[in-house]
């Protein structure tokens, strides 16, 4: 187990890499721990949770809504939780988001630990303190920025992760390579998803490298006034696609990244040959790069996006592989670009 400490504005966060889940007890009194997980994960790992109070929520993005939070709050009251209680979110991005949000509002804030169990949650969702719930069809409309006290990476949870979810997670890994790390891009080109699924040391190193990228971006810009927006590469169009076509997050982001590459080529002098490299890498990691799509519907939903700002939308484009930039694009031009890019 390797421990690193990062100091955020609100608190310091302990990252525990290559840890065993029960090491959480070294950080919080056992009787103050309340686990939030989903029914799927609970089914696979019930014995790990035997010693703790557990709140189980239904799995899937459809339940990332206020009704589930209402239910969590009732159970926290029943457990007589207080500000010294530690909510431990164990699961994928939906669980870590819900646990983070619950911990930030219950009694104005309890202790929080997150143990991400999917690649996506490990390299992205669980890091940086952002949480959120959806409001009807609109994603992450309500939430807070609330850092966990502890982030625990127990790679043994990955043994039950479906292949589909490995693929999903690699969309964010390719994203990190595209916006920040050309060497990581090379490394990904030289490997396959099967390699990482079979080699525990390789996936551990890859997760740590991606956690470092995301953490460094967040530390430089915790409240998303600047550089943190780069992490939205592929996500603006991706979220709209995800919403309308109910694609898995990674699939939608993959298509969104290709669209953003097309726009980068169109207005940001991004090389066509680099775009082709990115498309090829996404396909290599089994991610889709195109779908038949109603671009008018996508545009309608884009207009509801959080990132809109008066007559412009801030869009993340690539300069080259490993180097991204924020470009405000006028809505009229953007509508045309989106149409052509998909």
**1-37: string of b/e by CB count within 10 Å (b at 16+)?**
eeeeebebeeeebbbbbbbebeebeebbeeeebbbbb
CA pair distance 26, 22, nearest whole angstrom? 8
* Residue among 133 and 263 whose Cβ is closer to a second copy: 133
CB of 148 to a second copy, least distance (A): 16
CB of 78 to a second copy, least distance (A): 11
CB of 47 to a second copy, least distance (A): 29
- Of the candidates 160, 148, 274, the residue with the CA atom closest to the CA atom of residue 211: 148
Residues near a second copy (CB under 8 A) are 9, 66, 70, 73-74, 77, 80, 82-84, 104-109, 130, 132, 135, 138, 140-145, 304, 306, 308-309
CA pair distance 314, 188, nearest whole angstrom? 28
CB of 75 to a second copy, least distance (A): 12
* Residue among 48 and 235 whose Cβ is closer to a second copy: 235
DSSP lists the bridge partners of residue 314 as 328
CB of 174 to a second copy, least distance (A): 26
Using alpha carbons only, give the angle 139, 141, 143 rounded to the nearest 5 degrees: 115
* Residue among 62 and 141 whose Cβ is closer to a second copy: 141
* Residue among 50 and 70 whose Cβ is closer to a second copy: 70
Contact 168, 257 (CB under 8 A): no
CA pair distance 47, 178, nearest whole angstrom? 40
* Residue among 200 and 308 whose Cβ is closer to a second copy: 308
């Amino acid at each position: 187990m390797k421990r690193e400490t990062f100091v955020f504005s609100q608190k310091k966060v302990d990252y525990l890499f290559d840890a065993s889940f029960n090491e959480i007890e070294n950080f919080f009194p056992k009787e103050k721990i309340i686990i939030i997980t989903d029914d799927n994960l609970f089914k696979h790992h019930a014995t790990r949770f035997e010693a703790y109070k557990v709140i189980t929520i239904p799995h899937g993005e459809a339940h990332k809504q206020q009704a589930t939070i209402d239910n969590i709050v009732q159970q926290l009251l029943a457990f007589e939780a207080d500000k010294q209680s530690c909510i431990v979110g164990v699961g994928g991005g939906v669980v870590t988001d819900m646990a983070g949000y619950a911990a930030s509002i219950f009694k104005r804030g309890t202790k929080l630990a997150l143990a991400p169990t999917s690649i996506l949650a490990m390299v992205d969702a669980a890091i940086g303190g952002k949480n959120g719930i959806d409001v009807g069809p609109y994603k992450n409309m309500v939430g807070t920025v609330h850092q966990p006290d502890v982030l625990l990476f127990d790679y043994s949870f990955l043994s039950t992760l479906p292949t589909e979810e490995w693929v999903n997670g690699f969309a964010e890994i390719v994203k990190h390579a595209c916006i920040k790390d050309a060497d990581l891009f090379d490394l990904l080109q030289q490997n396959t998803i099967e390699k990482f699924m079979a080699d525990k040391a390789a996936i551990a190193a890859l997760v740590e490298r991606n956690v470092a990228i995301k953490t460094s971006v967040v530390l430089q810009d915790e409240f998303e006034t600047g550089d943190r927006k780069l992490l939205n590469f592929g996500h603006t169009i991706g979220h709209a696609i995800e919403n309308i076509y109910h694609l898995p997050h990674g699939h939608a982001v993959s298509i969104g990244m290709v669209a953003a590459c097309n726009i980068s080529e169109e207005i940001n002098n991004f090389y066509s040959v680099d775009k082709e490299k990115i498309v090829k890498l996404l396909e290599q990691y089994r991610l889709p790069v195109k779908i038949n799509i109603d671009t008018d519907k996508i545009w309608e939903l884009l207009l509801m996006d959080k990132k809109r700002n008066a007559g412009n939308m801030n869009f993340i484009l690539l300069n080259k592989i490993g180097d991204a930039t924020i470009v405000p694009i006028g809505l009229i031009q953007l509508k045309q670009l989106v149409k052509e890019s998909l």
